[in-house]
Chains A and B, each alone.
Chain A
Amino acid sequence: MAASALRPGDWLIAGAGVIMLGALWLRQADSLEGQVVIRQDGQVMQTASLRLNRVIEVAGPLGISRIEIQAGRVRVAADPSPRQLCVRQGWIPAGGAAVCLPNRVSVENAAAGYDTLNY
């Protein structure tokens, strides 16, 4: 009997496990990459990555809402709504959302964070 603790098949199983885990972790990293979901009138208008800095303009009934994605964060930079609630909300935390109701635009930071609920 071979004295070594690990036999060829064991290496195979352990290696297959490592490959599977690597794939799973990569997939996980992908899915945790934040997404920004922008809705206009309740319809998903655009889904954008949090990793790409840019300004997205959404046309609503009152005018243009400008949504800014910057350094992995997202906010409503400008909006024609009278009270500016969604603009004053500032950077939207992960899992949070800003709603510009008069202009019927909503921005959701869909980055998956773990909390007690989804844990």
Chain B
Amino acid sequence: MPPPAMTPSTIELIPSQEDRRIAGLAAAAIGLTLAEAAIPLPIPGIKPGLANIVTLLVLYRYGWRTAAWVAGLRIVAGALALGQFLTPAFILSLAGGVMSLAVLAAAMHLPARWFGPVGLSLLAAFAHIGAQLWLVDVWLLPGASILGLLPLFLSAAWLTGLGNGLATAHLLAKARPSPLTESSS
């Protein structure tokens, strides 16, 4: 019995509004990751992590689930674009992303009156570098003393966490009035 003649069996995935939003935001985050990869930095492992501004913004505006999606897509797609997929750099990036999202999941419940994007950004940055250094210690360079690297890397995390947090706070403050008063600068 011949198969039914050329039934178009395409499965059509209809992206929801949220899918589109996540895709757009992830694209922005990937763009930042790629742009950042072009900046020459003297020490491997230290970079500004500008894409985390997007993660934080999304966390504030759309919640943790969307932020996790955006961060996850950015990590995987960014690694693919940079040719780092499944390399140690990717695993480290993933570990940092997972840990900082976990910390953000807890920290986002801190009272907003007291803790803003800057605090969350700092906590996430420390979680990020903490997870990465831990992984380096147990997996990549077992036996090497990571302790000697702690001050440098944590200082970098503090600076980038602060910078990204301030950027997020600035963007949030700019974006917040816009739905009501469109032309307020």
Cross-chain contact of B119 among A7, A18, A21, A119 (Cβ < 8 A): A7
Q: What A residues does B165 contact at CB under 8 A?
A: 10
User: How many residues on the A side are at the interface (Cβ–Cβ under 8 A)?
Assistant: 26
Mark out the residues of chain B between 131 and 176 whose CB falls within 8 Å of any chain A CB in the assembled complex.
144-145, 148-151, 154-155, 158, 161-162, 165-166, 169-170, 173, 176
Q: What A residues does B62 contact at CB under 8 A?
A: none
Q: A5-B173, A18-B158 are in contact. Are A24 and B151 (CB under 8 A)?
A: yes
User: How many residues on the B side are at the interface (Cβ–Cβ under 8 A)?
Assistant: 30
Digit string of A89-119 for contact with B (CB within 8 Å is 1, else 0)?
A: 0000000000000000000000010100111
Mark out the residues of chain A between 1 and 54 whose CB falls within 8 Å of any chain B CB in the assembled complex.
1-3, 5-10, 12-14, 17-18, 20-21, 24-25, 27-28, 31
- Say how far A33's CB is from chain B's closest CB, in angstroms: 13
Digit string of B98-119 for contact with A (CB within 8 Å is 1, else 0)?
A: 0000000000001111111111
B57 within 8 A of A: no
Max chain B CB contacts within 10 Å: which of A1, A8, A9, A25? A9
B76 within 8 A of A: no
Q: Tell me whether A21 and B154 are in contact (CB under 8 A).
A: yes
Cross-chain contact of A28 among B115, B116, B151, B161 (Cβ < 8 A): B151
The dominant DSSP class at the B interface is: helix
Q: What A residues does B155 contact at CB under 8 A?
A: 21, 25
Q: What A residues does B149 contact at CB under 8 A?
A: 119
Bound-state CA distance A10–B177 (Å) is: 23
List 3 tightest A-B contacts by C-beta distance, closest first: A9-B114, A9-B115, A10-B119
Q: Which residues of A come within 8 Å of B, CB atoms?
A: 1-3, 5-10, 12-14, 17-18, 20-21, 24-25, 27-28, 31, 112, 114, 117-119
24 contacts between A and B (CB under 8 A): A1-B112, A1-B176, A5-B118, A5-B166, A6-B118, A7-B115, A7-B118, A9-B110, A10-B119, A10-B165, A13-B118, A13-B123, A14-B118, A14-B158, A17-B122, A17-B126, A17-B154, A17-B161, A18-B158, A21-B151, A21-B155, A25-B151, A27-B151, A28-B151
Q: Which residues of B come within 8 Å of A, CB atoms?
A: 110-119, 122-123, 126, 144-145, 148-151, 154-155, 158, 161-162, 165-166, 169-170, 173, 176
